[in-house]
Amino acid sequence: MSTRAPETLPNRLAWAARAACQGQDLALFFSDAEQKVAQAKQICAACPVRRECLDEALRAEGASIGDGVFGGLTADERTELALARATEQAAAQGQAPPQPRTGRRPAPCGTRSAYQRHVKKGEPIDDACRAANTAADRRLRTTGSTRPRR
């Protein structure tokens, strides 16, 4: 059992007693592994309180979407949904659409960050990321910083 049980979300709420994830391995819900995420989503798909869970997650997270699968959606998917809802709301009120949050976007391939993400997730490493990492290593040895010179 994971030590990162989502006690901040479904567990403290009345409907949580009916949550399909009660008694499940909550590590599934906080994994980066695609297969585990898929398993978690499958549990959510059959959950009788999926809507309550998703709404509570979005409400509780507000502008800063956390991690983990809630209500059948990953953090990235909730980020998108939250933006879509906010856009809809703004349009209904005749306001300008909100700006998408860009902070969570993963670094694109061809960067050291993406290389490090591949390593962390055990993903195959593409040439662009390998080259970026090698270049950053070389900079580190010669300048003491991984930052490209301007």
Q: Which residues bind ligand SF4 (CB under 6 A)?
A: 10, 19-21, 43-44, 47, 49-50, 53, 70-72
Distance between CA atoms of residues 74 and 40, nearest Å:
10
Say whether residue 107 binds Zn ion (CB under 5 A): no
Position 53 contacts Zn ion (CB under 5 A): no
Residue 126 contacts Zn ion per CB under 5 A: yes
Judged by DSSP in three states, 149 sits in coil
129 binding Zn ion? (CB under 5 A): yes
**Shortest Cβ 26–ligand SF4 spacing (Å):** 9
- Residue 63 phi, psi dihedral angles, 5° rounding: -85, -5
Decide which of Zn ion, ligand SF4, none touches 53; Cβ closer than 5 to 8 Å per partner kind. Answer: ligand SF4
87 is written with which tokens? 């856009």
* H runs (alpha helix) in 26-111: 34-45, 50-61, 75-92
Task: State the binding partner of 30 from ligand SF4, Zn ion, none, CB within 5 to 8 A by kind.
Answer: none
Q: Which of left, alpha, beta for 108 (phi over 0: left; psi -120 to 50: alpha)?
A: beta
* Least gap, CB of 113 to Zn ion (angstroms): 10
67 lies in the site for Zn ion, by CB under 5 A: no
Point out which span in 47-55, 84-92, 95-103, 111-119 binds Zn ion (CB under 5 A). 111-119
Q: Which of 6, 7, 9, 4 is nearest to 60 (CA)?
A: 9
